[in-house]
Amino acid sequence: MKVLVTGCNGQVGSSLVAQLEGKAEVLAVDRDQLDITDEAAVNEAVAAFNPDVVINAAAHTAVDRAEEEVELSYQINRDGPRFLARAAEKAGAAMLHISTDYVFSGDEEGAYSEGDQTNPQGVYGESKLAGELAVSEACPQHIILRTAWVFGETGNNFVKTMIRLGRDRDQLGIVGDQFGGPTYAGDIAAALIVIAERFMRGESVAWGVYHYSGLPSVSWFEFASHIFEQAKAQGVIDSVPALSSITTADYPTPAKRPANSRLSMDKIETNFGIAACDWQAALADIRPYG
């Protein structure tokens, strides 16, 4: 199996590269090696490597900056995926693309299913939804994997931020009225590899949009409480700061955050046998995050 991985230094990308070692011939690129917004460069790289699977883990994920960096957001989140998907289609490859819960408004109750109405509330979500549409139009053999609340050992994420703040502050206010499923980057990578390997074995693949995130669903406040409990127990921090649950209104941001980021796992479990991420197990050893 030959796999092209973009965004190889990000949370999911680095996990993909590590887990594919010994399983596939991998061309791992970040923006310095391949600017996915350059269509000619994408076509040249894909033609030269001739991958069986293209996995796009590159994205403009700075949610608040996206409100100002509109053009850049669309270039990276829409145009880049389109160029990769077109090149994958020419090569006869499958295209696996990571998307986000931000394509939904977050105002509905319960877990969002793949067929629920999309209604992004900011530039990040709008540009990611545009990327989904671009991929689906350019390459019939595609999987769009929506995920949420991603954390891992590399890059910036909520777990690392909490550990850093926990060392510096005695008190913290954490948003308690936004809910979702924390999702370990390594489990996202593993899910994508399961799908890629099924394709390579010539088995039937139900292409389209899927959701993948963690259970149990929690608030950011509850997630932070678990992080600090583990960090203190494992000696990563000396003491747990006093936590208070605050509202979204208490912590205004340039971009609106979804109040509900819960994603239904039914479809991916039925079609691929992939279970929800056990984020608590992923934090059983919290030391690599600190």
Cis link prior to 258 (omega < 30° from 0)?
no
Residue 212 annotated as catalytic: no
Which residue type occupies 93? A
Long-range contacts of 86-89 (CB under 8 A, 24+ apart): 86/39, 86/43, 86/138, 86/139, 87/42, 87/43, 87/45, 87/46, 87/47, 87/54, 88/46, 88/51, 88/54, 88/138, 88/139, 88/141, 89/138, 89/139, 89/140, 89/141
Out of 102, 112, 124, 210, pick the active-site residue.
124
Give residues with Cβ within 8 angstroms of 45, minimum separation 6.
4, 27, 29, 34, 87
Q: Tell me which H or E stretch contains 147.
A: strand 142-147
How do beta strands 214-215 and 179-180 pair? unpaired
Closest CA to 82 of 27, 28, 38: 38
User: Rounded to whole angstroms, how far apart are CA atoms 263 and 273?
Assistant: 16
Phi-psi region of 52 (alpha: psi -120 to 50; beta: other; left: phi over 0): alpha
Active site residues: 124
